[in-house]
Amino acid sequence: MYKIVIVRHGLSVWPDKFTGWTDIDLAPEGIAETLKYGKKLKELGYSFDLGFASMLKRGIKTLWKALDGMDLNWIPITYAWQLNERHYGALQGLNKAQTVEKYGKDQVQLWRRSYDVRPPAVDVNDPMHPSHDPRYKDVDPSLLPSGECLKDTYNRAVPYWQKTIEPLIKQGKKILVSAHGNSIRAIMKYLDNLSEEEIVGVNIPYCIPLVYELDENLKPIKHYYLASDEEVQRVIEGIKNQTKKK
């Protein structure tokens, strides 16, 4: 049996905005919670040989803080744009509740939770387009998104998982992955063979480690969070309420 641990980044300073590829930081609460769960991983006897993170600050710092809690800051880390959050196109930076007021709850829900409906695209000439970001200078510009649906995120995250991470799991490497709500949902769809209808109803809590136990063919035996059901649900409910006006 193999194990791999996946964690969604901690709470960011933009919980009420569409973030996507915008490179915003963790909130103090997100840092503290991530460190707490890193220490919990250590207490439960987990250890890792390798770390993987997106190329976004909140994903990177979540991995750093988790490893800090485990005294594993020294292990090799790979940063991969394929693990980035879904690109929210022209919605990035907009307040979620105000966007609901402008476009209506149903339309925003469609952009947020459908499998194959993209948000309005950001223009390639916009300074916020990823083609103008130096961290992606070595990525084929045709691969950089202007706006993505979950299907698009699946089509970049899952091939990366298959090509890069799965061979390492088979080698017996113990791996911690820090990613984002939608890139993790894409991986879960693949691992659990979920339908398009099933995956849109899946919610991922911030910074609570998700453990997958895999058989010799890397098919899931089971998966579980390292927290009580009540704690997981509390965090998920907070995420669901982000589009509600305060």
What is the domain-level CATH number for residue 41?
3.40.50.1240
Q: How far apart are the first and last CA of the chain?
A: 46
C-alpha to C-alpha distance for 87 and 90, rounded to whole angstroms = 9
pLDDT in tens, 176-200: 999 999 999 999 999 999 999 999 9
Number of domains in the chain: 1
Q: Which residues contact 210 (CB under 8 A, 6 or more apart)?
A: 5, 6, 7, 8, 184, 204, 223, 224, 225, 226
Strands (E), 145-204: 175-179
* Residue 80: other Cβ atoms inside 10 A: 20
87 is catalytic: no
pLDDT at 243: 64
pLDDT in tens, 61-113: 999 999 999 999 999 999 999 999 999 999 999 999 999 999 999 999 999 98
Q: What is the pTM of this model?
A: 0.96
196 is catalytic: no
- Single out the catalytic residue among 33, 85, 87, 180: 85
Which residue range(s) make up the domain with 137?
2-243
pLDDT in tens, 134-160: 999 999 999 999 999 999 999 999 999
At what angle are helices 105-113 and 96-103 packed, to 10 degrees? Answer: 120
